[in-house]
Amino acid sequence: MPSRWSNRRKAFRSILAGNACVYPGSVHDPIAARIAVELGFEVGMFAGSTGSLTVLGAPDLITLTLTEFADQALRIGRAADLPLMCDADHGYGNALSVMRTVEELETAGVAGLSIEDTVLPQAFGTTDAQQILSVEEGIGKMKAALAGRSDPDLVIAGRTSAILITGIEDTIRRAQAYEAVGVDAIFLVGVKTRKELEAIAPKIKLPIILGTATPEISDKAYLASQGVRVCLQGHLPFQAAVQGIYATLKALRDGVAPKDIQNLASADLMRRVTRADDYDRWSREFLGTRK
């Protein structure tokens, strides 16, 4: 196993074992990961949604395959020294598929991944409302995830959206069940208020990862006091990138001269995020070029 993967996993575990809450940088490709590192983010977050958007240009409807997701995770991890947390959705199938998912993502070098108990993809003839697995099937998936892990430093988080579907009491029941199985963290999606968080957090011994950051709870000191160690802030960088590409292409299509296009990355920033200095050095050393 490459030491860089091991070191990143240990770094991520140290965050979960600490006393502070961090906001991860949402990253979807190698350049985004390098920018996150330059800006000092302690951990990156690669979601199924941004994976689908990046690879397929499709919404988050579980049409992305495990192989495509793992390949993109590897590209991100290869490009930047950043512990990467992944949203592995439902594990791309049943509990046996979850084992395969963990194997592939561990090989791809991620520092951590979450497996959720939502029914995915949407079943034929159902409504748009989310559905949730039985707690027994959820437990089976968590056991399979742990069985699929070879590196004990790889973080496996049990993820649940139960608060949005079945309520607080069921959220606590599921979190405690997954905790008893042996997962490393509990990933909660849908917690919106301090009242909700304060009802759940004391019942969980494991570090908490929050998938939502409403204004009411978006205070890192408060979150840390409730056992939250990682709190997502959405995936705004991808949205901003889409808007930037759209605006630039539209301006060019409308006849704006390339020299008049605004809000472009500077030449210096482009050199940094593409590691141009490294490639210049390697070219001199290995190709005998002169620059």
46 in Cβ contact with 76 (< 8 Å)? yes
Cα separation, 32 vs 237, whole angstroms: 8
**Domain residue spans of the chain:** 3-240, 264-291
Q: What is the pLDDT of residue 122?
A: 87
Tell me the one-letter amino acid at 177: A
Tokens 């039985």, residue? 134
User: Is the CATH number 3.40.50.2300 carried by domain 3-240?
Assistant: no
Q: What is the pLDDT of residue 212?
A: 83
Q: What is the pLDDT of residue 3?
A: 81
Per-residue model confidence as pLDDT tens for the chain (291 residues): 468 899 999 999 999 999 999 999 999 999 999 999 999 999 999 999 999 999 999 999 999 999 999 999 999 999 999 999 999 999 999 999 999 999 999 999 999 999 999 999 988 888 778 899 999 999 999 999 999 999 999 999 999 999 999 999 999 999 999 999 999 999 999 999 999 999 999 999 999 999 988 999 999 999 999 999 999 999 999 999 999 999 999 999 999 999 999 999 999 999 999 999 999 999 999 999 876
Cα separation, 102 vs 187, whole angstroms: 16
For 183-218, b/e burial (b = at least 16 CB within 10 A) is bbbbbbbbbeebebbebbbeebebbbbbbbbeeebe
